[in-house]
Amino acid sequence: MHMVDSFAFVIMPDHLHWLIQLQGNLGLSEIVRRLKGSSARGINLKLGRNGAVWQTGFHDHALRKNEDIRDVARYVVANPLRAGLVEKIGDYPLWDAAWLGVLEA
């Protein structure tokens, strides 16, 4: 089942930024619930533990018509730079975007 189109993401040390477009009949809350559930099971299995991995809730932002999706994608993947984790986006391993060449220019 195709639930989202994923345009950009970055996994930070304590949270995730993910730029998506919903597809199908599922709402955002259900998508996030499924993402948290399946990733928590995998993380706990890998670490040999049980319990919560994610905080409850999430923050969302719907793009406005005047917002350029590529600019928002650049902002998403630049989070490690703003956080001082790396000096170049390419040095941070936990991100991806639909427009790689555009983002690194």
- Domains of the chain with CATH codes: 4-104 (3.30.70.1290)
CA 87 to chain centre: 20
Please write the tens of the pLDDT for every residue from 33-48: 999 999 999 999 999 9
Question: Is there a contact between 9 and 98 (Cβ–Cβ < 8 Å)?
Answer: no
Report the distance separating Cα 46 and Cα 79, nearest Å. Answer: 26
Q: Work out the end-to-end distance of the chain between its first and last CA atoms, rounded to an integer number of angstroms.
A: 34
Report the distance separating Cα 18 and Cα 97, nearest Å. Answer: 10
Please write the tens of the pLDDT for every residue from 47-105: 999 999 998 899 999 999 899 999 999 999 999 999 999 999 989 999 999 876 545 54
User: What pTM does this model have?
Assistant: 0.83
Report the distance separating Cα 85 and Cα 78, nearest Å. Answer: 10
